[in-house]
Structure 1
Amino acid sequence: MSTAAAAPGPGPRYRITAVADSDSYLKFACATLEALGPEWERQVLLVRSPLQPTREQLAAAAAGTFQQGRAVPVVPAGTLRSALAGSDVVLAAATGPVAEEVFIHAARITPRPALVSALPGVAIPATRKALAFRALGDAFIAHSHAECRASSDLAEAMEHSQQILASRLPFLKSAFRPEPVQVPLKAVVFAPQAKVPAGQEERVAILQALAALSRRSGLAVRVKLRAWAGEPQTHREQYPFDTLWEQLVEARAVAGHELEFCTGPMAEQLVPATALATVSTTAALEAVDAGLPVLVLSDFGVSEQMLNKVFDGSGLLGTLEDHKAGRFFHPEPAWLRDNYFHRQDVPLADLLALYARRARAGRLAVSAERLAASRRRRLRQRLRTLLPAPALKLVLQLRR
């Protein structure tokens, strides 16, 4: 299902609209459209939702792109059809239910725009749920050869007709294989992941290891948060690291001065003489891209459930003991080729232009069967949100 197409020559100016709903998806949308270049007419929208980014998150997501310093329009889901009118390509850069909502509204536009979606970071393991929400799409963007294989195999098993496009994460700037920067360390940045590790004790252990490194080495140690405790983000974080740190300070388990907490663009933290530690996050790839040493913590397991299976064989896996000792690593070259640092022979802009031309020619259709399935799934999502559990159970029984 992976596509390989000849790059089209110079052509008309196409219009792409990206729709996001959270901070990580907004960052992906802005970076993706930035990479397409000014030859495209580009627009980014936010769907009004509980995940809507704060002003600080908006600024961080747009930093360094054409969207920097510009307001991002916020639209209710019910107005998406009119907001997307005139687009040649619609990029659903949003969580599954919102991406499906975007496609349902866009599918009613004549001529129908091309419907494209992607996840904002590492997309391994490929999941049925993620592809099912995006089943109306013409194409799904994968970010590596490994992701392309996994998504293609799953799409075929699910009998989905959408194509899987092999691209690169738009945050990665190296032309091909990044070269390690060999300089003495001055700082360490820890990049949390909202979903893993899930347990409070595991997260406290990470904070204590960070504090131990700070005390032993004298390095500046920072925790780069995606959001402060209580602020919205793509995934719910049950035990925010800044809250746990405050509790450790209050309990006098740490002195309090060992760590610094910050938010803002990740790129501002990934400067020479810095190492990055994480359990599983796209920030590890950004650090590799910048030539910085990385440590992916394996203490809590290496598995699809821990969202770090993709780093198996990378040479980046290590432990909290490695972290305390200040041991960080550079990736294995063979792993780089298959995972996120491949050579991009056909730019994403050229691939999307093919779909834009088909859209303008009215050659893109919607499967009535898939549209009906998406509408049924959307109804179930709304019922689960609005109805008490006994009423929801009764409605589902009646529908069956």
Structure 2
Amino acid sequence: MAQPLPPEVPRAKRRMWVLADADSYLKWGVTRALEAQESWDVRLVIVDSAVTPSSEQVSAAVDGRWPEAPEVVSFSDVQRQLVADPPEALLLACRGPLVELVVRVLSQEVARPPVTVCGIPGIWMPPTALGLRLRQGVDVMVVHSQRERRAAAELSQTTGGPSGYALASLGPVLAEPYREPVQTVVFASQALVPVTVEQRQAMVTALVTVARAHPEVAVVIKERGRQGEEQTHRDIRPYPQILEALGGGPENLTVGYGPMRDYLEPGAALVTVSSTAVLEAIASGIPALCLDDFGVSVENINVVFEGSGLSGSFDDLERLDFRWPRDEWVRDNYFHEPAANDWLRALEDAADGSARACRADGQGDRRALHRAARRRTALGSRDVWWRRPATWIAAAIVAGWQIVVGRRP
């Protein structure tokens, strides 16, 4: 008589570490960690760096989605743990200089480096050559639209970059648009754009005008962080300071903090220059307006919205003329079908293979000072290496010698 087959023993999950630094990267890293945890044993940590978020920023980024508060770990500790007991996969939810630094450690100090995955939160269109070079040596780079994947793959043919690209969604599935009258106007501020103080003053003046023209409507300047908190990009011209310098505004104009999700409720409308928050609004069924008064350019990070149907002016804002995107733009930009997401499959394929792409840039000591500067950008005052005068002097001597013999760093 045939014996019954023994019960199948479930295979232990392979380990994945998610290393985050700035608040926006942490938010993105939590989203990817949640998607991966069904197949992977995920550990989420924040690398203590130049942009370590405050406890309030961590709370806003995690937004109750992760069962425990992520621990903050020094880079030195991360380095020691990677060398002693590396996981099978490493998701680098951090800025380019820290990605480059981790890749160098893995390529030089870890016998069998883990599979590496990275990505940039939010809109990355068009991709940048520097962004690709800093992520060179990573196995998989996650992008968020079919358009981004095409553009990044094309650019990397001339600049170098990650070994491959895979797709993930930035937000939830597209919701049906709300058609209610506008009750709240939410302005999603950004650190990088608009660029000049004069442009930012014009932005605040426009919001004051809207608030006075529509006293029944709440107008909120939604800030990413409070004064003194570090962000992915440092804001040297915060809107609350500009508002105060201009004499303030009416009572229905306020400044808000915390998760953007709390502001995107029925009756809200979002205005921005190019913040990723516009995608959150669209996904939530909230109408939006992408201002083009400062021009449409790579510098303003708003080229991607050409043809979307969302572009408009201060005059449109004053009329509360908010829009929904065109269907053809939606399909190619950030709202593809969930079935097209393949980043987890690309991760599994890389983990099951024997080769690892993780490698340094191959320049040896030729770019020693460049790497030192980027390390300082990544770690800031937490960079112990930076404090060693002997290391600085040695790097300078090497760089000077290379210039003498005709090899510029």
Output the amino acid matched with 2:228: G
1:334 aligns with 2:332: no
Q: Does structure 1 retain, via aligned residues, the 8 Å contact 2:141–2:162?
A: no
Number of residue pairs matched? 377
1:364 aligns with 2:372: no
**1:36 shift after superposition:** 2.4
Give 1:312's aligned residue: 306
> Partners in 2 of 1:136 and 1:315 — Cα distance?
38
Mean alpha-carbon deviation: is it higher for 12-21 or for 272-281?
12-21
Give 1:132's aligned residue: 133
Q: Does structure 2 retain, via aligned residues, the 8 Å contact 1:100–1:374?
A: no
Give 1:180's aligned residue: 177
Q: Does structure 1 retain, via aligned residues, the 8 Å contact 2:98–2:375?
A: no
Q: Which residue of 260, 267, 270 corresponds with 2:264?
A: 270
Output the amino acid matched with 1:58: V
CA deviation string 1:209-233 (max 9, x = no partner): 1122122122011111101223211
Q: Does structure 1 retain, via aligned residues, the 8 Å contact 2:211–2:250?
A: no
> Partners in 1 of 2:145 and 2:125 — Cα distance?
10
Give 1:52's aligned residue: 52
Mean alpha-carbon deviation: is it higher for 275-284 or for 43-52?
43-52
Output the amino acid matched with 2:61: A
Change (3 A) 1:118 1:368: closer
TM-score by length of 2: 0.85
Q: Which residue of 363, 371, 374 corresponds with 1:378?
A: 371
Q: Provide the identity percentage.
A: 33
Q: What root-mean-square deviation, in Å, do the aligned CA atoms of Structure 1 and Structure 2 show?
A: 2.6
**1:44 shift after superposition:** 1.5
Change (3 A) 1:374 1:233: farther
Q: Secondary structure at the match of 2:77?
A: helix
> Partners in 2 of 1:64 and 1:277 — Cα distance?
26
Q: Does structure 1 retain, via aligned residues, the 8 Å contact 2:137–2:360?
A: no
Q: Does structure 1 retain, via aligned residues, the 8 Å contact 2:182–2:320?
A: no
CA deviation string 1:60-113 (max 9, x = no partner): 01114225xx23222222222333434221111111111111222233333321
Q: Does structure 2 retain, via aligned residues, the 8 Å contact 1:144–1:166?
A: yes
Output the amino acid matched with 2:356: L
Give 1:223's aligned residue: 221
Give 1:111's aligned residue: 112
1:192 aligns with 2:189: yes
TM-score by length of 1: 0.87
Q: Secondary structure at the match of 2:362?
A: helix
Q: Secondary structure at the match of 2:178?
A: coil
Output the amino acid matched with 2:202: A
CA deviation string 1:278-323 (max 9, x = no partner): 0111100000000110000100011111101001110000011111
Map of 1:1-400 to 2, 5 A cutoff?
13-67=13-67, 70-84=68-82, 85-107=85-107, 108-160=109-161, 162-169=163-170, 172-174=171-173, 177-217=174-214, 218-249=216-247, 254-345=248-339, 346-358=341-353, 362-364=354-356, 366-367=358-359, 370=362, 372=364, 376=368, 377-382=370-375, 396-400=399-403
> Partners in 2 of 1:308 and 1:161 — Cα distance?
25
Q: Does structure 1 retain, via aligned residues, the 8 Å contact 2:365–2:398?
A: no
**1:259 shift after superposition:** 1.3
> Partners in 2 of 1:115 and 1:291 — Cα distance?
35
Q: Does structure 2 retain, via aligned residues, the 8 Å contact 1:15–1:87?
A: yes
Q: Does structure 2 retain, via aligned residues, the 8 Å contact 1:229–1:242?
A: no
Query: Structure 2: any 5+ residue segments left out of the alignment?
Result: 1-9, 381-385, 404-409
Output the amino acid matched with 1:122: I
CA deviation string 1:141-173 (max 9, x = no partner): 11101100111011111244610112222xx11
> Partners in 1 of 2:217 and 2:58 — Cα distance?
30
Mean alpha-carbon deviation: is it higher for 147-156 or for 98-107?
98-107
Q: Does structure 2 retain, via aligned residues, the 8 Å contact 1:14–1:353?
A: no
